[in-house]
Structure 1
């Protein structure tokens, strides 16, 4: 079986409120003001597909938020999104691999974050057979092509795959291709899924 895990809020807890909080402190702009201005628009998606540089993304986000931050300040805030790893999911991933299943990660992410979490959470990489990253593939979920390319590379059929993601749009796109997909709404979902399958 091929198990496909998203990273954020599936294996590692993330919280964008922490990013805005850090930027608010660094830029001396009220948090409520940043919250009202922040949205994940086209620069966000271009960054995740690897189409613009970290510096270009930072400049565009600072313009959107109307905040004066140096690149290093921006990066410090951007990395604040990571809260901590979910050890119970790491344990499940290891168990799946031990029983002969294939375990991969499919993440919409960006170069800045990939400079941070692999060293901060080395146990994530150690729990996966392969990591598929949007900025390296030039595609991002929910584009159907990203799932198809992963299946092709893994030489797996949709019937042999199970996908876990916290974003309903990503789940629905995978389901439309016939992939068994589990919407991870909180930290209990993945452990409960596997306990029910014993």
Structure 2
């Protein structure tokens, strides 16, 4: 089988409030103000497809949030999103590979985050056979073509794949292609799903 894992809130816990908290401290802009202005919009999606540079994205977001941050300060906040890995999920990924299954990560991410998390969490890459990242592929979930790309590259049909993600839209898009998909709501979802398979 091919097991496809999302990264954020599936393998690594993430929290965007931590990002906004750092920016709030650095810019002296109240956290509530940043929270009300922060949205995953078109620029966010372009950044995840690698269509705009990190610097362009940072400038656009600072303008939108009305905060004056240097690129270094922006980056410091942006990387604060990562809380820590989910050891149970990593252990399962290793186990699946030991049993001869193929384990890959499919993440909507961006160059800026990729410059950071592999050094911070080397154990994540060690648990996967391959990384599929939106900014390298020029496409992002929930676009059907990104799932198709993974299936084609791995040489498996949809009915031989299982996908784990914390986003309902991404799950529905994968299901529409015939991929068994599991919505991850907390750190117990993945272990519980595997426990129920026996």
Identify the TM-score tier after normalising by the shorter chain. over 0.9
CA distance in 2, matches of 1:24, 1:160: 45
Matches within 5 A, 1:9-20: 9-20=9-20
What aligned pairs does 1:93-172 form with structure 2 within 5 A after superposition?
A: 93-172=93-172
Q: Deviations over 1:130-172 (max 9, x none)?
A: 0000000000000000000110000000010000000000000
Mark the runs of 5 or more structure 2 residues left unpaired by the alignment: none
Counterpart CA distance in 2 for 1:92 and 1:105 is 13
Counterpart in the other structure of 2:47:
47
TM-score by length of structure 2 reads: 0.99
Output the CA distance in 2 between the equivalents of 1:164 and 1:173.
12
Deviation for aligned residue 1:196? 1.0
Q: How many residues align?
A: 198
Match in the other structure for 2:174? 174
Hey, what's the Cα distance between the residues in 2 that align with 1:37 and 1:2?
39
**In 2, Cα distance between equivalents of 1:41 and 1:182:** 25
Deviations 1:64-110 (A, max 9, x none): 10000000000000000000000000000000000000000000000
Shift of 1:197: 1.3
TM-score by length of 1: 0.99
In the other structure, the counterpart of 1:34 is 34
**SS at 2:173 equivalent:** helix
* Structure 1 residues without counterparts, runs of 5 or longer: none
**2:68 counterpart residue number:** 68
